Amino acid sequence: MSPRLFRAPSDTPGQRPERPLRITVDGEPVDGVAGQSIAGVLLAAGRTSWRTARSGAPRGVFCGIGVCFDCVLTVNDVPDVRACRRRAADGDAVTTQTRAAEDEDAVTTQTGAAGDGDEPAVRARTAPESRGDRA
């Protein structure tokens, strides 16, 4: 069995009906309900992994709260978005990411700014992720 949505007894009947939404993941439509995170949509659709690590190993959600960066994917052309923290919006075009064929020329999209004084002011992030094109 896979992850699945459940109903709780505290879900009062007669409340606003769930609003469906649809996103695409590598071009394929995936249905969810408004209020879910992108990770929630993917998990509820039965997908436990969507990213590939350097070795080619599959990755999905691990910490669930934005700490581990295992769940990152590209949302509407913006890479490295934490799926567990980003709320899904109807029409989001999601593409999965891979580091398996790490591209040295990949665009660095995140920078570090000094937080504690003894680090350089702006530091290119060491491991940009190139976007995968798995369909």
Q: Which residues bind another protein (CB under 8 A)?
A: 1-8, 10-12, 15-16, 18-19, 33-37, 40, 43-44, 48-49, 53-55, 57-70, 72, 75, 78, 80-82, 84-87, 108-117, 119-120, 122-123, 125-127, 129
What is the Rg, in whole angstroms, of the alpha carbon atoms belonging to the chain?
17
Whose CA is closest to 30, among 66, 83, 77, 103? 83
**Which positions from 88 to 117 touch ligand FES by CB under 6 A, shown as an x/- string?**
------------------------------
How crowded is residue 52: how many other Cβ atoms within 10 Å of its Cβ? Answer: 19
Q: How far apart are CA 87 and CA 129, in angstroms?
A: 21
Q: Output 68 or 131, the one with its CB closest to another protein.
A: 68
Q: How far apart are CA 84 and CA 66, in angstroms?
A: 6
| 22 contact choice in another protein, ligand FES, none (CB below 5 to 8 Å, kind-dependent) | none
Q: Judged by CB under 6 A, does residue 68 bind ligand FES?
A: yes
